[in-house]
Structure 1
Amino acid sequence: MTSSNSLLVQLLDQEFRNQRRGWGLQSADLRSRTAGQRLLSHVYGVTPEDSPGEVRRKAVAAVRRLSADFPDEMRLAVEYALAISPDAQWRSLSEREHSLAQTLLCSARTARRRVQDAFQRLAEEAAAEYERVNDQARTPDGADEGWAVRSLESLLRLDTPMPEVTETRSVVALRPGLRRIVTRFSLPRLPDGVPAAPDVVAEVQYGATLRAPARREGEGHFLHVLDLPRELGVGEHHEYSMTYRIPEGYVIRPYYAFVPLVACDAFRLRVRFGADRLPSRVRRFHGVPPRRLLDRDSPGEPLELDAVGEVALEFDRIRAGFAYGIAWQPAVGDTRFE
């Protein structure tokens, strides 16, 4: 751990201490309290325009995302200390720690130590996320720096001759004067011996303009640089939408996966299959390692399509580097999929 990272962890730990005071994240003054905490404001994705309820929702979502893979006892300590747990709705931290002690069958002193240990790790996770957001892979013009995705809404259409995806993103500026960002779209690697397919066709629907043609990175990774309508200040949100059309002749794998490189608060997905190409089986996967998507026994809960051949999903507690989305068994004779 570098000295700068150690300092960042210490600062975030102090800001989390402030968040634990009084009613925790249920505090009536949470908005003003969070506004004075610069680091947590970035981690939570809070903006000056957010209502008190929105600040609370973002704070709870971020804490749960950061602690998603904690041991149960450690995650419970975090949720009790911040008054997130329904079983810990007490007006003071000491009351919540006493309640935690009863739940864990330990002394109050031990419960306090559990809280301190849990928030040390939470501060480390928050510091790592803060640095990932600010140190994303660089592009020559710096368009990968100083912003983060807060939500993604995707529409995958499979009722068209070839699949097409419309992705609507809400991004937040993490530095002043943000005017340019990048977006990436990836397709699976082509089988050996198959010629390289043409580029994916990308079209901005609203909220930005394409600065240049796509930059191809490897066989199936496409990077687009986007100019925003105006410069954004720190904490400002902006929404844009793009449609990607898969070129004819490109055989793809039967799944759609969102694998965020940085944290994202929410992901919504709608898939339209088409009445004449209904899959025999559909499943949802949530937070799986991307490599598992290639396994025959890859995890996922079964889903049912509605009367028009669609399915809509929502995902939260999203972690960077893991896959979220939908997979299906293609209809017999559907040659678009590998």
Structure 2
Amino acid sequence: MTEENTFPFVRELNELRRGRGLDAADLHQRIGPCLREACGITDEDQPAAARHKLVLRLTELCGRLPADLRLAALAAFGLHEEAAGEFLDRRISWLASVLDRDPRTARRRIDLAFRRLDELLDAPASARDLHPLAGWYVESMKAMLSLDRDPPDLQEERRIVAEVDELDELVLSFSVPAEPGSDPVPDITADVLFGGEIVEARQVSASHAQFVMRLPSPLRLGQRHEYGIRFTPRRTSLRPYYVMTPLRRCEEFSVRVRFDRADPPSRVWRLNGVPGRVIDDGVDSGDALTVNRVGEVGLEFHELHQGLSYGLQWAFDPRED
């Protein structure tokens, strides 16, 4: 049995890595039938549309590979920002230097990466949520909410993927609903920890703010970028939950909440893709979480659906007079 029969996508991937890789001017003519089907490319697609579908699909699948194989595949395709635009031999030399290996080992790493991509491409593509928000999606997000501070503090680290060329700015949203009957304070601040700078803040309402963050340099289609940001609501009374409700595609989300150990909640439960009304009603999901001895709860989610909420909610026992 030949490798072509065992790994039907490998031959087509090897064709793509020649020359300038996915930056080649004739890329649309070099996309084989297996890849066209796996990436949803039709005969009606213009060259730019075909490239767009191919780059996003391969970027997504490369993100599922181990770090060394991901680097090898991105370099081979010319998708890595430090290896983009170079011819294959130079990209392999760059990969070898980064891996601290000889070029033959770098080539073997690429071959292994392509075999793993073959397996992923052969699997049915998962259905994707559609939303008019375009330009980028979240590959992973980590959040740390500290409720043992006054005011509370939320830090987020995200790895995003550009879905267009020349992506220069991100619009970031943050909501802090106030307790019913309390005096809403329309003031939410944001500070970039790394990976960009805030150039505009918009207070949309008393509980919702948007921040425009300029990136260090424009991203090209398929390029990843990481940034960290701190949100601070200038109020001490918050609703008893923390959720992420993605309006754009989000692959992975993890959150850790640190409670005040002097006044921990009596119950904490997981919210795994629920409508917003369920949170407002304060219904215990029955998926109980345990606060550890340092006052923290951590959990993670994968392949989130847009418009549904993921996170955790808590409640305190009624106080005795």
- Using the size of structure 1 for normalisation, the TM-score is 0.60
Counterpart pick for 2:155 among 162, 166, 176: 166
Say if 1:320 and 1:44 are closer, same or farther in 2 by CA, change over 3 A.
Answer: farther
1:48 and 1:235 in contact (8 A); partners too = no
1:286 and 1:300 in contact (8 A); partners too = no
Code of the aligned partner of 2:143:
S
1:285 and 1:300 in contact (8 A); partners too = no
- Deviations along 1:27-60, one digit per CA (max 9) or x if unpaired, are 76796699754426425753878857659xxxxx
- Residue of structure 1 in register with 2:60 after alignment: 46
After superposition, residues 270-281 of structure 1 pair within 5 angstroms as 270-281=256-267
- Deviations along 1:214-266, one digit per CA (max 9) or x if unpaired, are 201122110000011111111001111111112135x3210001000122110
Say if 1:304 and 1:173 are closer, same or farther in 2 by CA, change over 3 A.
Answer: same
Query: Is 2:206 aligned against 1:219?
Result: yes
1:190 and 1:219 in contact (8 A); partners too = no
Equivalent position SS for 2:279:
helix
- Residue of structure 2 in register with 1:209 after alignment: 197
Code of the aligned partner of 1:268:
S
- Deviations along 1:47-83, one digit per CA (max 9) or x if unpaired, are 878857659xxxxxxxxxxxxxxxxxxxxxxxxxxxx
Report the Cα distance in structure 1 between the residues aligned to 2:53 and 2:15, rounded to whole angstroms: 12
Say if 1:204 and 1:198 are closer, same or farther in 2 by CA, change over 3 A.
Answer: same
- Residue of structure 1 in register with 2:89 after alignment: none
Query: Is 2:229 aligned against 1:245?
Result: no
Say if 1:177 and 1:170 are closer, same or farther in 2 by CA, change over 3 A.
Answer: same
- Residue of structure 2 in register with 1:75 after alignment: none
Counterpart pick for 1:284 among 270, 291, 311: 270
Report the Cα distance in structure 2 between the residues aligned to 1:254 and 1:31, rounded to whole angstroms: 49
Counterpart pick for 2:222 among 226, 230, 235: 235
Count of residues in correspondence between the two structures:
233
After superposition, residues 81-100 of structure 1 pair within 5 angstroms as none
Say if 1:163 and 1:317 are closer, same or farther in 2 by CA, change over 3 A.
Answer: same
Counterpart pick for 1:326 among 312, 316, 319: 312
- Residue of structure 1 in register with 2:241 after alignment: 255
Report the Cα distance in structure 1 between the residues aligned to 2:54 and 2:309, rounded to whole angstroms: 25
1:274 and 1:308 in contact (8 A); partners too = no
- Residue of structure 2 in register with 1:113 after alignment: none
Report the Cα distance in structure 1 between the residues aligned to 2:12 and 2:259, rounded to whole angstroms: 44
Say if 1:287 and 1:176 are closer, same or farther in 2 by CA, change over 3 A.
Answer: same
2:55 and 2:221 in contact (8 A); partners too = no
2:178 and 2:184 in contact (8 A); partners too = no
- Deviations along 1:118-151, one digit per CA (max 9) or x if unpaired, are x7xx78x44x53xx2xx31xxxxxxxx4111221
Report the Cα distance in structure 1 between the residues aligned to 2:244 and 2:13, rounded to whole angstroms: 31
Code of the aligned partner of 2:224:
H
Report the Cα distance in structure 2 between the residues aligned to 1:168 and 1:262, rounded to whole angstroms: 16
- Residue of structure 1 in register with 2:188 after alignment: 200
2:187 and 2:206 in contact (8 A); partners too = no
Say if 1:175 and 1:307 are closer, same or farther in 2 by CA, change over 3 A.
Answer: same
- Using the size of structure 2 for normalisation, the TM-score is 0.63
Q: How far did 1:160 drift? A: 0.8
Report the Cα distance in structure 2 between the residues aligned to 1:156 and 1:33, rounded to whole angstroms: 47
1:45 and 1:150 in contact (8 A); partners too = no
- Residue of structure 1 in register with 2:166 after alignment: 177
Equivalent position SS for 1:231:
strand
Equivalent position SS for 1:42:
helix
Code of the aligned partner of 2:314:
W
Structure 1, gaps ≥5 residues long = 1-20, 56-89, 97-118, 137-144, 334-338
Structure 2, gaps ≥5 residues long = 17-21, 23-30, 32-38, 40-51, 72-118
Report the Cα distance in structure 2 between the residues aligned to 1:30 and 1:256, rounded to whole angstroms: 45
- Residue of structure 2 in register with 1:156 after alignment: 145
Q: How far did 1:195 drift? A: 3.8
Identical amino acids, percent of aligned pairs = 30
2:253 and 2:302 in contact (8 A); partners too = yes
CA RMSD for the aligned pairs? 3.4
Q: How far did 1:297 drift? A: 2.6
1:277 and 1:331 in contact (8 A); partners too = no
Report the Cα distance in structure 2 between the residues aligned to 1:261 and 1:33, rounded to whole angstroms: 36
Report the Cα distance in structure 1 between the residues aligned to 2:270 and 2:167, rounded to whole angstroms: 35
Report the Cα distance in structure 2 between the residues aligned to 1:314 and 1:177, rounded to whole angstroms: 31
Q: How far did 1:298 drift? A: 4.3
Say if 1:307 and 1:181 are closer, same or farther in 2 by CA, change over 3 A.
Answer: same
Code of the aligned partner of 1:323:
S
Report the Cα distance in structure 1 between the residues aligned to 2:292 and 2:14, rounded to whole angstroms: 44
Report the Cα distance in structure 1 between the residues aligned to 2:14 and 2:300, rounded to whole angstroms: 30
Report the Cα distance in structure 1 between the residues aligned to 2:225 and 2:263, rounded to whole angstroms: 36
